[in-house]
Structure 1
């Protein structure tokens, strides 16, 4: 195997596939990057069994030569060393050559490295997915969906199913839900599918986060193929394969209140900044909570009291308050994380009492919903 490649493109592809590689694998060869060279170009693969990422670098793109293929072949190189080496090579072109005994020479300018490689035939084969059931989402919309949901997944392994995001496809509508049982994030979008199939799957939050970091913000699309236990994301020159979480996701629709006792419309940025200030004193306390109370003339009071540190009180004017007077306590961290992903200058908060979950939505947009459970203090 021997080829010459533009260093920047190689570095970018290696960075992408490195997201699937972990040093904590029980299969030693998976600590490496698989490199396969054909007449079409170079394919890099990284995997930790749960996530597999394949990045293809074509011979040429837009009339520019990216790879000069001298001899086809393959090799598996230790990912950590290979990544560190190519990032620090001195020139824009890199030559990689493999000899009979898997000895790999990496040349750039006056620099030459020798690495011991592994047999690519021993690298586990990625599962083959037939592309029957597929739909597409624009890259920027996909990244938005992930940003608005994945923060609410559970970080505890006591209920593994909650470490993923529930994707439901029904009647050309995709509903994404994440919950850690203390708060919930939901986003809905319309999609176009090539068949009327319905799906109810749970994708690990880690998989969605890693893919979101790789995709750019363009209007190009990512194709999504769902099978019984895997989901495949296909973007330009990239394949991202993730296992699905096993088990039944809880029926979260029952958690969302259908009526409310108190409803307010408030400026999103002002409210977020007020909660942020109130949390300054609550952050180190044992009871990390912020209290909200309704006052007269559409005013609300945001307060926090940590006896060993001090207290803070602030008043805000809302656009409107309807319904019963209210005193409620909640986690400022959960509230701020919910507010930061809302789109729109104003939001609607609907309360069903001091000890019931409340929902937050942008005004005039029901495609996104955040739900938070209050904290008992009153």
Structure 2
């Protein structure tokens, strides 16, 4: 095997492939990145047994020039470090007697031991099935807005990922840890008749936004318990989570006794001031007291002290007096997902969920259960 390629482009693809590798895997071959060159293209593959990555490089997207086709299983740590330290635009790769990889540039030469490419498993990437096309920027934003409520270690397996449902020409992305819910709706521009209801694992969702940077096209392909994300020239495949994701929409209150309209940035700053540090590292409980047309934000840490502030930058629809408490992290996480200046905080009473959304916009909702002091 022998080829030359643009160093920066190869480094980018190897970095993507390396992110999903689990060095603790019992199969030594899974610790490597598999490269296979044919006449006019090279495939970059990695897997950890659950996630699989595949990228196709050619002359157009990476200045690839293949002299001798072949395959190699590289140790990514050393190859990546070599490529990072080099300053050359192009690098040359050649395999010596199936045991060593030689990397050369105009001014340097590196020899690195390799793994046995014959030990690498044959991976089947599913590229046929139900196909859903979504704007990659919109999907990345949606993931970042909803992943905050996913608990990777939840005892209920069905809650350890993000749920993707398609109905009425809308893609509904939901996450919950039973204490809070995130839900974002993406309206499809073209008609989509298939019924889709899948749950994508947390680790897949964590890695996916990194692959969506600067992506031009995204296809989500569903087939037999797998989901494949086709992102330009990259395929990213994952198992799906078994089990029924709960119908979280039923937890959204339909009517509210009071709505506060606040500036998201100034309200978040006030919450951060009330987020007192403590010795056990747990987030404090923040109490909101609404009375006589005023809002007071208070937090108390035992053996340390308390903080109270009157928050003035708000509007209200009613003069309801209310006192309600929340986990500080849950409340700040929810508000950070909104990039608008004004958001609505919708209340009923001290024991029913709070709903956070944009003013007059229900495409993104954050729902938080209150915390009962003394319990």
Identify the TM-score tier after normalising by the shorter chain: over 0.9
Tell me by how many angstroms 1:119 deviates. 3.7
TM superposition outliers: structure 1 runs of 4+ over 4 Å:
192-195, 281-287
- 5 Å-filtered alignment, 1:97-112, equals 97-112=94-109
List per-residue Cα deviations over 1:38-67 (Å, max 9, x = no partner): 222222111101111112222124xxx711
Change (3 A) 1:37 1:169: same
- 1:323-377 C-alpha deviation (Å, 9 max, x unpaired): 6311001011111111111132111111121122111001011100001111101
Partner of 2:203: 206
2:233 aligned residue: 237
Question: 1:195 Cα deviation (Å)?
Answer: 5.0
Residue 194 to residue 262, structure 1, CA distance change in 2 (3 Å): closer
Indicate the SS of the match to 1:158: coil
Structure 1 contact 281–310 (Cα < 8 Å) conserved: no
Note if 1:347 corresponds to 2:343. Answer: yes
Checking the alignment, whether the CA contact within 8 Å between 2:285 and 2:371 is kept in structure 1 is: yes
Corresponding residue for 1:42?
42
Q: Which blocks of at least 5 consecutive residues in structure 2 are unaligned?
A: none
Instruction: Tell me the SS of whatever aligns to 1:277.
Output: helix
Alignment of 1:175-214 (within 5 A): 175-192=172-189, 196-214=193-211
Matched residue, 1:148 = 145
- SS at 1:319's partner residue? strand
Decide whether aligned partners of structure 1 residues 282 and 356 sit closer, same or farther in structure 2, where only a CA change above 3 A counts.
farther
Equivalence for 1:373: 369
Partner of 1:334: 330
Q: Are the aligned partners of 1:90 and 1:108 in contact in 2 as well (CA < 8 Å)?
A: no
TM-score scaled by structure 2?
0.94
Report the CA distance between 1:97 and its aligned residue: 0.5
Cα RMSD over matched residues? 2.0
Are residues 1:310 and 2:299 paired? no
Alignment of 1:1-378 (within 5 A): 1-61=1-61, 66-192=63-189, 196-217=193-214, 220-281=216-277, 288-297=284-293, 299-317=294-312, 318-322=314-318, 324-377=320-373
Distance 1:48 1:293, change over 3 A: same
For the structure 1 residues 276 and 282, does the alpha-carbon distance in structure 2 shift closer, same or farther, using more than 3 Å as the test? Answer: farther
Question: Would you say the 8 A contact 1:90–1:109 is kept in 2?
Answer: no
Residues 104-161 of structure 1: CA deviation (Å, up to 9, x unaligned):
2111233322223234343222224242311211221111011101121013242222
| Structure 1 gap segments, 5+ residues each | none
C-alpha distance in 1, partners of 2:6/2:89?
Answer: 6
With the length of structure 1 as denominator, give the TM-score of the two structures: 0.93
Cα distance in structure 2, aligned partners of 1:304 and 1:153? 25
Report the 3-state secondary structure (helix = DSSP H, G, I; strand = E; otherwise coil) of the residue aligned with 1:294: strand
TM-aligned CA deviation for residue 235 of structure 1: 1.2
How many residue pairs end up in the alignment?
373
